Amino acid sequence: MSEGGVDCEPRGGYQGPWVWSAYRAYHELLREKLKKRFEAQEGPWMDRVADVLVQIVNARWEGGRKKEKEEETLFEKLEELLSE
């Protein structure tokens, strides 16, 4: 029993942890299936976005005025990809 006398465990007893484990497994499976669908449909686009993001991080690490201009160009490229 929890506060207010409401029973949180389904049908009482020690079944609660097993039921919650089943729900968790169900949601994990659904999450994996969704990830596979997104990879199949959006994977190539996400790869391009990831490439630009890595280039932006590298440009920031290297720094300098030349890199500031390169970073600006990369952000423009990222904006284009995100608007597709």
List the chain pLDDT tens, one digit each, 84 residues: 444 554 455 555 567 888 899 999 999 999 999 999 999 999 999 999 999 999 988 888 877 666 777 888 888 888 999 898
Query: What's residue 17's pLDDT?
Result: 85
Tokens of 62: 């290297």
pTM for this entry: 0.55
CA distance linking residue 2 with residue 84, whole number of Å: 50
Domain boundaries, the chain: 3-82
From the number of C-beta atoms within 10 Å of its C-beta (0-12, 13-18, 19+), residue 74 rates as buried
Place of tokens 């994977």: 43
**Assigned token pair, 1:** 């029993």
